[in-house]
Amino acid sequence: MIPYSRQKIEEDDIQAVVDVLRSDYITTGPRIAEFEKRVADYVGAGYAVAVANGTAALHAACFAAGIAPGDEVITTPITFAASANCIMYCGGRPVFADIDPKTYNIDPEDIKRKITDKTKAVIPVHLAGQPCDMDAIQKIAEEYHLLVIEDGAHALGSEYKGKRIGSISDMTTFSFHPVKPITTGEGGIIVTDKEELYQKLCLFRSHGITREDSLMTRNEGPWFYQQMELGYNYRITDVQCALGCSQMNKLDKFLERRRELARRYHRAFQDCPDIIVPYQLHDANSGWHLYIIQVLHCDRKNVFETLREKGIGVNVHYIPVYYHPYYREHGYQEVCCPNAEKLYEQMISIPLHPSLSNGQQDYIIQTIKDTLGNL
């Protein structure tokens, strides 16, 4: 099966991990700060806090944003459940705004319609690596005094109007799960320019505990520390961050290959009457985490099963979050975002990752065309 995505690990990645295993630190050591600096510098942010995974990054960001019971936070239904779960972790209530049917990203106009006096923040998700309309979202956030937390799990290296994702909003989170643009096995990071948020994120990552004089109420000696908040153990390890540093060396190469493969898909499918290819934003440069097509005039399930039978690891990103039984049971049974629901019926993610060969891609293209032609 050709997977829809997968990690690309080479000998130098392996060597970097082995070197750490032979060093003094395998949990919290020097590699963490090094990896944080690499990511912060790359995206153009002042601070970065690396954590155990992308979901922990979102949880930490919601905590630092002060999300608490009674607060509402607006996000998209076409995302992985974690983008909404993180709000629930803090006792807040996710409110789903519909997507723009062209870009598949959250529609700023619908964000506006969903704002109430309880709304505290917005979590836009750059689906597939395509940047959201951040100018419009920032404008709304300023007008209504909302924090913006970008879920950039798909968007490390994506650019919006010449700016890298991670340099725009109050906070941006990334994931380093093996299917994402680079990997640390499990891992995540939050970037921000605000020192106050950075301090909260650092506390949250490690039990709410600090040893810093400036943050403690008193200091009884060299052994002393204080717990200031209810934090978690969301720490990442030096072993993971060594892999992360090594992967950062290759990010631009990975992105280049993803963009080339996306162009090849685009050329192959743009004239097919049964396929809608991803919309090409003119003012953004996607990192192409996913290549999502819509299949028309056919039964999506049938196409999906046929492609899987032919060894093509297609997937669907995503089931609208509020369709899940947990959400249905928590007051979302009446929620309806028509554009999201229509997209969900027709969408298929086809393989796209840096190690996909042109030959494999040609096979995928031909098989999709044959399958749609024969149904």
Ligand X SMILES: *Cc1c(COP(=O)(O)O)cnc(C)c1O
Which residues contact ligand X by CB under 6 A? 53-55, 79-80, 82-83, 125, 151, 153-154, 175, 177, 188
| 156: enclosing H helix or E strand | none
Pick from 346, 369, 349, 354: which is nearest to 267 by CA? 369
Residue 259 exposed, middle or buried by CB count within 10 Å (0-12, 13-18, 19+): middle
Residue number of the CB closest to ligand X reads: 54
Q: Which is nearer to ligand X, 9 or 365 (CB)?
A: 9
Nearest to 268 by CA among 369, 357, 370, 354: 369
For ligand X, give the closer residue by CB, 82 or 284. Answer: 82
Q: For ligand X, which is the closer residue by CB, 189 or 356? A: 189
Looking at the Cβ atoms of 236 and 261, the one nearer to ligand X is 236
Q: How far is the CB of 250 from ligand X (least distance, A)?
A: 19
Exposure letters 63-91 (e unless 16+ CB within 10 A, then b) = bbbebeeebbbbbbbbbbbbbbbbbbbbe
- Which residues, 6+ apart, have CB-to-CB distance to 373 below 8 Å? none
Distances (CA, A) of 234 to 46, 62, 150, 187, 323: 21, 14, 19, 10, 29
Q: Could you tell me the smallest distance in angstroms from the CB atom of residue 56 to ligand X?
A: 7
**Which is nearer to ligand X, 122 or 153 (by Cβ)?**
153
Q: What is the C-alpha to C-alpha distance for residues 177 and 184, in angstroms, rounded to an integer?
A: 7
* Minimum CB–partner distance for residue 187 and ligand X (Å): 7
Report the amino acid identity of residue 145: H
Token code pair at residue 302: 């049938």
Pairwise CA distance, residues 183 & 176, whole Å: 4
Q: At its nearest, how many Å lie between ligand X and the CB of residue 271?
A: 30
Nearest one of 196, 199, 197, 217 to 208, comparing CA atoms: 199
**Please, what is the minimum distance in Å from the beta carbon of residue 80 to ligand X?**
4
Pairing of strands 147-151, 72-75: unpaired
- Comparing CB distances to ligand X, the nearer of 17 and 190 is 190
- Report the nearest approach of ligand X to the CB of residue 154 (Å): 6
Whose Cβ is closer to ligand X: residue 77's or residue 231's?
77
* Side chain identity at residue 86, one-letter code: C
Q: CB of residue 317 vs ligand X: minimum separation in angstroms?
A: 8
Work out how close the CB of 155 gets to ligand X at its nearest, in angstroms, rounded to a whole number: 9
- Closest by CA to 328, choosing from 96, 106, 62, 92, is 96
For residues 67 and 208, give the distance between their C-alpha atoms in angstroms, rounded to a whole number.
16
Q: With respect to ligand X, which residue has the nearer C-beta, 125 or 243?
A: 125
> Cα dist. 45→39, 164, 203 in Å?
8, 9, 19
Nearer to ligand X, 98 or 151 (CB): 151
Closest distance to ligand X from the beta carbon of 79 (Å): 5
